[in-house]
Amino acid sequence: MNDQQGEAAMHQLSKTATGIKGLDDLTFGGLPTGRPSLLCGAAGCGKTLFSMTFLVNGATDYAEPGVFISFEERPKDLEDNVASLGFHVADLVREKKLVIDHIHIERSEIEESGEYDLEGLFVRLGYAIDSIGAKRVVLDTIEALFSGLADTAILRAELRRLFAWLKDKGVTAIITAERGEGQLTRFGIEEYVSDCVILLDNRVEEQITTRRLRVVKYRGSAHGTNEYPFLIDDEGVSVLPITSAGLEHKISQEAVSTGVADLDSMLSIGGYFRGSSILISGLAGTGKSTFGGSFVEAACKRGERCLYFAFEESPDQIVRNMNSVGVKLKGHREAGLLRFEAARPSLYGFEMHLARMNRDIERFDPKVIVVDPISAFRGPHLEIHATLVRLADICKSRGITAVFTSLSSVGDQMNESERSVSSLMDTWISLSDMEANGERNRVLYILKSRGMNHSKQLREYELTDDGIHFIDAYIGSEGVLTGTARLAQEAKERQASMVRQQNTEKLRRELVRKREATERHIAELHADLAREEDEVDTIINQEEAWEAMLGSDRSKMAAVRGHHHEK
């Protein structure tokens, strides 16, 4: 289906790449070749810079010279303004890759008498195009003609002719126009330019501006229909195509060390999965950044490129602070393995931040990123969610292992940003400190870690001079004990076990004594028996002796009697 559509689109319409990151993705190739496209938006939303980028990219990257017809800014001003994007327009003009023509109409200078047409504009445009063989044209902002010329009937007819003429010329053109009330453009230019209409918007929400882009229509082509944030800064223009991220990323079985040996062992695979997203949430001062920093240091030691997005501290501050807990980042930073991108969260809306981060990621191509912290972003949670989903998707699609830190507030189980991203995260480590006995002790808990059997224990840890170290867990009837409570409990335990030991010892001794007593008793009985036996023997002997003596006495007596009797 998708392929068919893509193929069909390719056959139907050839496209001209704008070279603007993201825009070419969401229009599946760029602007319609050889046709005018309308770029509309309110004042100050970047129409001029956007269209100049189109020309400069064409001239430098696609060998397509361009013509910029400016109705508002003079060439010199224009050159200065786009110099802020790093464009050297004057060089391109010298190299005959670009022509800038300033068309200026001052109504007060002009008297209209009779019929006229805009052939002069055609002549100038045609001359400019032919002089360098231009393939791209920008008319910025053609509506200025409406304020310069009175006869709008002529003007409209001529504009219609102009756009047809541009098509005949086969140039890919961008026509810019001011946003109007109730319609796309103030003077209804969209009526004439209908192949491709792109709307730029610059909205201020909660004092933060976010530039957004929407492809309103694109005849004959599929296109992303959402609003996409885009970015204009010293690196040029880039659009963040949200929907180009999907769920089809490849997954990895490889484990990458967390940089904390004890934490590695809590995760059964010995670290995070490569390409997974990790949320480290915790209270202030629980060492979220240190966990992030340790992870980065481990990655740098493996020779992987790391990008650290800092929203609360300056890079130097982070490096210094990490150094104090034994996480050495300075060398890696100097070696170019580690890059910091620091910005105040309030500098742009988070969509802008996202666009910027996306661009940085694409440019630096890191293996590992740290976003510290996501809780710095304030705003409607739907938007935060959408933004972070996109960031996580970007990372996953590129196989980047991403660590996000988030500051939770006391008493709040989850803050807005955590709640909104928790389902996105593959691993969620919660850091907190337990307050008891007048002290705070840091504990860590792995709330979840998809695809592995992780430890379910609460673990106490310390931030020491040489990194994060875990302390053997004490888990008793009163839950996990930390700090002195743990020590006290341990002492109590030791005492109790000593008492128990003493008790057994006593019992053992008693038993021995009992056995000895019993044995003594038996011996006594034996002795008694022996004595009795002796006595009985003696008596028996006496009796026998007595009997024997009696017998002989009797015979003696009988003999005496008999003898006497016999006589």
Partner 1 sequence: MKNNLPEDSAPSIEVKSPEPGAYNLRLYVAGQTPKSLAAIANLKAICEDHLSGRYSIEVIDLTITPQLAAGDQIVALPTLVRTLPPPLKRVIGDLSNTERVLVGLDIRPRVQEPS
What are the residues binding partner 1 (CB under 8 A)?
101, 103-105, 109-121, 123-124, 126-127, 145, 148-149
Minimum Å gap between C-beta 154 and partner 1 is 8
Nearer to partner 1, 54 or 71 (CB): 71
Minimum Å gap between C-beta 421 and partner 1 is 55
Nearer to partner 1, 117 or 412 (CB): 117
Minimum Å gap between C-beta 112 and partner 1 is 5
Nearer to partner 1, 129 or 446 (CB): 129
Minimum Å gap between C-beta 87 and partner 1 is 22
Nearer to partner 1, 187 or 272 (CB): 187
Assign 208 to helix, strand or coil.
strand
Minimum Å gap between C-beta 332 and partner 1 is 56
Residues 12/18/20/21 CA torsion (nearest 10 deg) = 30
For the purposes of burial, counting CB atoms within 10 Å of the CB of 449, is it exposed (0-12), middle (13-18) or buried (19 or more)? buried
Instruction: Please state the φ and ψ torsions of residue 350, each to the nearest 5 degrees.
Output: -70, -20
Residues 314/320/325/326 CA torsion (nearest 10 deg) = 120
Nearer to partner 1, 117 or 490 (CB): 117
Which pair of structure tokens corresponds to residue 247?
Answer: 């769920």
> How many other CB atoms are found less than 10 A from the CB of residue 517?
10
Assign 433 to helix, strand or coil.
strand
Minimum Å gap between C-beta 118 and partner 1 is 6
Nearer to partner 1, 125 or 338 (CB): 125
HEC string of 177-199 equals EEEECCEEECCCHHHCCCCEEEE
Q: Write the CA distances from 564 to 558, 560, 567, integer angstroms.
A: 9, 6, 5
Answer whether 476's CB lies under 8 Å from 452's CB.
Answer: no
Which pair of structure tokens corresponds to residue 76?
Answer: 């010199």
Nearer to partner 1, 98 or 354 (CB): 98
| Cα angle: 282, vertex 295, 446; to 5 degrees | 40
Nearer to partner 1, 22 or 66 (CB): 66
Which pair of structure tokens corresponds to residue 21?
Answer: 């990151």
Nearer to partner 1, 117 or 534 (CB): 117
Strands 98-102 and 227-233 come out as unpaired
Minimum Å gap between C-beta 107 and partner 1 is 10
Minimum Å gap between C-beta 135 and partner 1 is 19
Minimum Å gap between C-beta 148 and partner 1 is 8
Minimum Å gap between C-beta 96 and partner 1 is 14
Q: How far is residue 518's CA from residue 288's CA, in Å, rounded to a whole number?
A: 69
Q: How far is residue 217's CA from residue 161's CA, in Å, rounded to a whole number?
A: 22
Least Cα distance to 446 among 458, 434, 435 occurs for 458
Minimum Å gap between C-beta 126 and partner 1 is 7
Least Cα distance to 412 among 234, 284, 526 occurs for 284
Helices 119-132, 152-169: axis angle to 10 degrees equals: 20
Nearer to partner 1, 101 or 462 (CB): 101
Answer whether 278's CB lies under 8 Å from 401's CB.
Answer: yes
Nearer to partner 1, 3 or 109 (CB): 109
Instruction: Please state the φ and ψ torsions of residue 536, each to the nearest 5 degrees.
Output: -60, -45
DSSP codes, 62-87: S---EEEEESSS-HHHHHHHHHTTT-
Could you tell me the end-to-end alpha-carbon distance of the chain, in angstroms, rounded to an integer?
162
Which pair of structure tokens corresponds to residue 185?
Answer: 């453009």
Answer whether 214's CB lies under 8 Å from 228's CB.
Answer: yes
Minimum Å gap between C-beta 371 and partner 1 is 51
Nearer to partner 1, 98 or 403 (CB): 98
Nearer to partner 1, 159 or 452 (CB): 159
Which pair of structure tokens corresponds to residue 251?
Answer: 């997954």
HEC string of 227-261 equals EEEEEEECCEEEECCCCCCCCCCCCCCCEECCCCH
Minimum Å gap between C-beta 116 and partner 1 is 4
Residues 14/18/24/26 CA torsion (nearest 10 deg) = -100
